[in-house]
Each structure stands twice: as structure tokens, then as C-alpha cells.
């Protein structure tokens, strides 16, 4: 049972992280365009992209996507807890 629950949690966690990252990126792209009037940099490492624009994009996108993934995985862990009665593997505290 522990092996199966670990696989279920891995899949569930992965799907929630990928889904939230995609939604966050779409929202962030729209917010960037609304705030700056330009498309976000496709590749901040490109020398043609202004340095401070690249820094701002990297900071904003990294933070926003990481927070979205964390919130989604916390929600997934809560759902897993309600469904199984225990925390997912890797989140269980040692007794």
C-alpha cells in the first residue's frame, strides 16, 4: 500500500505543479503586458533584452511560478490527507 500511495502522490503532485505553473505563466504574461505594454521577454538571457527588464522578468516570473506551485502542492497535500487520512509520503513527520 505504501508503494502505491507514493506513486499516486508523485503523480498527483506533479500534475498540480505543472498545472499551476502553466496558469501562473499565463497570468504573469498578461500582467506583464498590461503593466509594460510589451510582451514579456522570450529569453531574458538574450543580449538584445534590456538588462533591468530581464532582471525584473526573471524575479517576477520565478517568484510567481514558485508561489503558485507551492500553493497548488499544499492544496494537493490537503486533498490527499482528506482522501487517505494521512499526509503524503515525504510530508509525514517522524513519530
4 pLDDT above the threshold of 90: no
Q: Does residue 79 contact residue 58 with C-beta atoms inside 8 Å?
A: no
- Tell me the longest C-alpha to C-alpha distance in the chain: 55
Write down the mean pLDDT value for the chain: 88
pLDDT tens sequence across 53-80: 999 999 999 999 999 989 998 998 998 8
Please indicate, yes or no, whether the overall pTM of this predicted structure exceeds 0.85: no
**CA–CA distance, 60 with 70 (Å, rounded to integer):** 15
Amino acid at each position: 500500500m505504501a508503494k502505491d500511495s507514493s506513486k499516486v502522490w508523485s503523480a498527483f503532485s506533479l500534475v498540480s505543479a505543472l498545472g499551476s505553473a502553466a496558469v501562473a505563466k499565463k497570468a504573469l504574461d498578461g500582467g506583464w503586458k498590461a503593466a509594460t505594454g510589451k510582451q514579456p521577454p522570450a529569453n531574458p538571457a538574450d543580449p538584445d533584452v534590456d538588462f533591468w527588464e530581464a532582471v525584473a522578468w526573471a524575479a517576477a516570473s520565478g517568484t510567481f511560478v514558485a508561489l503558485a506551485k507551492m500553493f497548488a502542492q499544499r492544496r494537493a497535500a490537503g486533498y490527499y490527507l482528506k482522501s487517505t487520512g494521512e499526509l503524503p509520503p515525504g510530508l509525514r513527520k517522524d513519530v
